[in-house]
């Protein structure tokens, strides 16, 4: 079972936004959850899928509510509009166990990043945690 773990101190909107991120991670993983306990480190493919889907959901959210989500989400939206999510994920969310995809144009992205993402600080603030005992104990907050 994968439970969502959010950072402490998030506002109501931030909490909702981070839940969307974590739910997209669960959607990607569906039936391929790791069999180990603890924090689930995303693969490159997962993080790319999730960040693309997340930007779509956030655009819908702002369209429906008229709310501004802040500088981080404006920046992420710029990245998505330029179709640079894969490069962005590699540059800002890379994990040690990832193998660099051969089709990234990292020099081009670096140039764009240096111009457009000068003070950007990557964010996630939400994780998935595997708890193999959750299903046994009937934990209502876990879902597969």
Residue 86 placed within a domain = yes
Domain count, the chain: 1
Listing DSSP states for the chain in one string gives -EEEEE-TT--HHHHHHHHHHHHHHHHHHTT---SSSEE-PPPHHHHHHHHHHHHHHHHHHHHHH-----HHHHHHHHHHHTT-HHHHHHHHH--TTPPPPTT--HHHHHHHHHHH-TT------EEEEE-TTHHHHT-TT-B-
Give the model's pLDDT for residue 16.
86
Total-model pTM: 0.81
Give the model's pLDDT for residue 30.
76
Residue 142 placed within a domain = no
Give the model's pLDDT for residue 39.
85
Residue 81 placed within a domain = yes
Residue 143 placed within a domain = no
Residue 56 placed within a domain = yes
Residue 118 placed within a domain = yes
User: pLDDT under 70 in the chain at which residues?
Assistant: 1, 31, 33-36, 132-144
Give the model's pLDDT for residue 50.
94
pLDDT digits (tens, 9 = 90+) for 45-58: 999 999 999 999 98
Q: For residue 56, what are the domain limits?
A: 2-137
Residue 69 placed within a domain = yes
Give the model's pLDDT for residue 65.
86
Residue 144 placed within a domain = no
């Amino acid at each position: 079972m994968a439970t969502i773990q959010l950072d402490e101190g998030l506002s109501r909107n931030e909490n909702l936004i981070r839940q969307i991120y974590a739910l997209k991670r669960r959607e990607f993983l569906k039936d391929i959850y790791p069999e180990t306990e603890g924090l689930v480190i995303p693969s490159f493919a997962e993080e790319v899928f999730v960040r693309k889907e997340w930007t779509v959901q956030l655009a819908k959210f702002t369209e429906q509510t008229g709310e501004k989500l802040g500088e981080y989400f404006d920046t992420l939206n710029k990245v998505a509009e330029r179709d640079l999510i894969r490069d962005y994920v590699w540059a800002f969310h890379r994990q040690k166990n990832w193998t660099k995809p051969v089709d990234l144009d990292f020099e081009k992205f670096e140039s764009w990043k240096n111009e457009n993402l000068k003070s950007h600080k990557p964010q996630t603030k939400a994780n998935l945690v595997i708890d193999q005992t959750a299903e046994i104990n009937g934990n209502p907050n876990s879902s597969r």
